[in-house]
Each structure stands twice: as structure tokens, then as C-alpha cells.
Amino acid sequence: MFSYRHAFHAGNHADVLKHTVLIATVQYLTEKDAALTVVDTHAGAGLYRLDGDYARTSGESGHGLLQLAAAPADAAPLAPALQAYLDLVRSFNKGATLKVYPGSPFIIQHLLRAHDRLKLFELHPSDGRSLAGNVAQLDAGRQVAVLPEDGFEGWRKFLPPPARRALLLCDPSYEMKSDYGKVLNLAVEGLKRFPTGTYAVWYPIIPRPEAHDLPRRLKTMAQKAGKSWLHATLTVKSSKIITSATGEEKRPGLPASGMFLINPPHTLKAALAPALPQLVERLGQDRHATFTLESGG
């Protein structure tokens, strides 16, 4: 149950997509004066070393953040949403070399105001301890709460929030097939408890029926509830298993991921429209690289 460690995947193409969307969303939601509550159901460790053993073992950031940041000087300017993402990540690093990657908790906290609140759930023992230690360094006081609980259950205690403004981010590992159903159930119950909240779901696009059913079911649910929605995906390579001349099978790693939002900012689609084609251009690994962007409601 606790085998997944995001440290192996920090800064990969899925993080680039997720955090670009997250930054644009939080920036919009903090434009209003009223306090915002953000709930992160699967927070991870919060901060990751890109030069550490985990990240070097996988090398995934080299095909994600680091590749995006290494564009030649004569390359076309990045879309504003991607530039905001790079600028924020760079703010956690000294000098030009990117060695530290902020996970969702630190990205969110960086953008929040003093009267906003951040609730972080992390059940993994090691990551939970790391998260608590990293957050303690912020000296953020009551603004940030770290809870060593199951985010699929604990979120209920914070929605609806006192100021009636909230963002819930749900991005489990999906190592267990039951996570897909739990995500959908959370979204359904969340809308019943707090219909005006913004709900953001990250998911991997892999050869598994549940992965392809999830966005379709979220879309149907949002439409039936009369809520606006946005669905963005990024594919960087083929998902097919490669067989070598010796008959050895090589799995391609995560080929694609998606973000599905209910009650998204009305500005988000326009922000992502120029960003997603650039991600395909800069992070695509083969001719199967592509993106989708659709919305409704």
C-alpha cells in the first residue's frame, strides 16, 4: 500500500501539466479578497531533490521540467502559464541549476495570502514525516495544517469552509484500482457538500480501463450536476510495450496524464490553449505526442 514515492517522479511531464494548471487556478482564486481554503488529499513530501538518489534513479525530470527549462535562447517565448510555472519553480532554487522541486503543497503555499488556509493530507509514514518537517521550516503558523490521515476520508472536515471558497486537489498514486472509484465518489460527495467549490483531479493515462473511464464519468457527473468543467491532457509518447530483438519487453513508463476540473476558473481554458501545444513541442518524445483541451457547462 505504501510503495509509491513521488520522489522518483518529481518534475516529470505529469508534474509539469499538473502544476501549470494548479498555479493558474490558485492565482485566479486568490484574486478575490475573501479567504480561500485549499485541501490537498495526497500531499506527498512537499519538497524534492532533483539531484538526489530517487530523482537520479528515474531521470524523469530530465524529460519534464529540466527539458522545458533548457530551451535554447532563440526559442519562442513560453506561454504565460508555462512561464509562471518555471518562474515559481526557480524561486525555490539558488542560481541557474534546478536542484529543488516544490510539490503541490509548497506551490500552493507560495501563492496563498496570510488569511488563506492549506490542509495537507499524507498517509505514507516516511513522506508524512518529511512533509511535516518541510512545512515546519516555513514558519507558516496556523496557515498550513499537516494531517497524517487518509485524504479520501479526511477532506470532509474542511468542506464547506467558513468563507465558502475552496479548492480541493485530489491526485493519488492510483497504484490501487480502487483509487479511481474513490476519486469519483469524492467528487460526487464534494459537490453535494459544497456545490460552488473548485475540484481538481489529476490522473494517469495508462492502458487500464479505469483510467479511461474516470474522466468520462467525471464529465457525466458534472454535466448532470449542471457544473462547468475542464479537461486537459498531455501525451508525450506511445503507451505501447516495446519488444527488443532478443524478446525482452520494455515498458515505456508513464506516457500521458490528465487534469479534470469541476467549477474551474473561467480564464483557465484560454491560459492553457497556448501552453499545451508548447508542451507537446518541447516535451514530446515521439510522433504520438499530443494534447487535448475541452470544456463545458
- Dihedral, 132, 136, 138, 142 alpha carbons, nearest 10: 90
151 annotated as belonging to a binding site for a ligand: yes
42 annotated as belonging to a binding site for a ligand: yes
| Known active-site residue 171 | yes
- What 3-state DSSP class applies to 294? strand
d(CA 65, CA 49): 13
Task: Tell me the sheet residues that pair with 232.
Answer: 259, 293
CA nearest to 120, candidates 94, 154, 147? 147
For 33-67, letters b (16+ CB in 10 Å) and e give: eebbbbbbbbbbbbbbebeeebbeebebbebbbbb
40 annotated as belonging to a binding site for a ligand: no
CA nearest to 103, candidates 10, 24, 12? 10
Helices (H), the chain: 13-29, 53-58, 65-69, 80-90, 104-111, 125-136, 151-154, 178-193, 209-224, 268-283
- Asked if 202 and 18 touch (Cβ cutoff 8 Å), the reply is yes
Task: Tell me the sheet residues that pair with 290.
Answer: 235
19 annotated as belonging to a binding site for a ligand: yes
150 annotated as belonging to a binding site for a ligand: yes
CA nearest to 132, candidates 53, 71, 192, 45? 45
Widest distance between CA atoms in the chain: 62
Per annotation, catalytic residue among 15, 116, 171, 179: 171
- Which active-site residues does the annotation give? 171
Per the annotation, binding residues are 19, 42, 104, 122, 150-151, 171
Per the annotation, binding residues for S-adenosyl-L-methionine are 19, 42, 104, 122, 150-151, 171
